[in-house]
Amino acid sequence: MTVRVPTLRFERRLWNEGLTRVVGVDEVGVAPTCGAVVAAAVIMKPGCHRIPGVRDSKTLSAGQRERLAPTIRRRAVAIGIGAASVSEIDRLNIYHATHLAMRRAIARVGGHEHVLVDGNRIANFETQVGPYSAIVDGDAKVYTIACASVVAKVVRDRMMALLAARYPGYGWERNQGYATREHRMAIRELGLTPFHRRSFLALQRTLAGDQTSLDLFGEERDEVLDDVLPVGHPALGLVAATG
């Protein structure tokens, strides 16, 4: 299978119009059954050269992403990270929570002129972030979106690894919260944690017929720090806007 290499074609068109703060945005963690959804926003210097190896994070190994992320941070004009917690996902639904994470990431880059976002058009997004372009498969086509996808994936994987140490047995350090067989078996054996997305049908199906209550940990869940590690947590590394 040929792996697509993202280009700067979309960015150059905007740079040629005189725009200098063009943001690429992408999110990770939509499909997992636990943990926050995380978005990253990246601004690169007009006229920059691509970092070799940067592409859609889904086509990279964990090691490749970990090697690329620090280079992206050094080269970027600004990086912002945004997250939506498990409580927000359950309250708003994953679609709206994902866009909330995106808006939070964009707000942390310190000002922008245009946004390039992966996916389809988003209702009312322009009123909240200003001019933007929605590009289907943007993480594969657009360089700054690909950079954002790498950074977001690294941050979320680190979050899940830290949570795995707090809640051992679910394999989050390996499955990142996806509904793998290992994860499903652990839910049946250990029950739900405060970081499981109770609104997700996959969890309800996993527990169907079991004695485990969907209200397990209900009170504790509301007391967990926003259901997500603080954005400035030192173990996450790639969280601060760079300028």
Is the model's pLDDT at 102 over the cut of 80? Answer: yes
Return d(Cα 59, Cα 102) in angstroms, integer: 22
Is the model's pLDDT at 65 over the cut of 80? Answer: yes
For β-strands 132-135 and 37-44, DSSP reports them as unpaired
Return d(Cα 75, Cα 34) in angstroms, integer: 32
How high is the pLDDT of residue 225? 38
| Interval 154-167: pLDDT, tens | 999 999 999 999 99
| Interval 205-220: pLDDT, tens | 777 644 333 333 333 3
Pair 39, 81: CB distance under 8 Å: yes
pTM: 0.87
Q: Please identify, in words, the CATH class of the domain defined by 9-156.
A: alpha beta
How high is the pLDDT of residue 238? 56
**Cβ neighbours around 204 below 10 Å, total:** 11
49-63 average pLDDT score: 96
Determine the length of the chain: 243
| Residue matched to tokens 């795995």 | 164
Pair 44, 109: CB distance under 8 Å: no
| Residue matched to tokens 């509904």 | 179
Is the model's pLDDT at 241 over the cut of 60? Answer: no
How high is the pLDDT of residue 203? 78
| Interval 3-48: pLDDT, tens | 889 999 999 999 999 999 999 999 999 999 999 999 999 999 999 9
What's the chain's average pLDDT? Answer: 87
More confidently predicted of 222 and 242 = 242
Q: How far is CA 243 from CA 15, 44, 45, 76, 80, in A?
A: 19, 11, 11, 9, 10
Which pLDDT band holds residue 85 (cuts at 50, 70, 90)?
very high
CATH 3.30.420.10 residue window(s) in the chain:
9-156
How high is the pLDDT of residue 87? 95
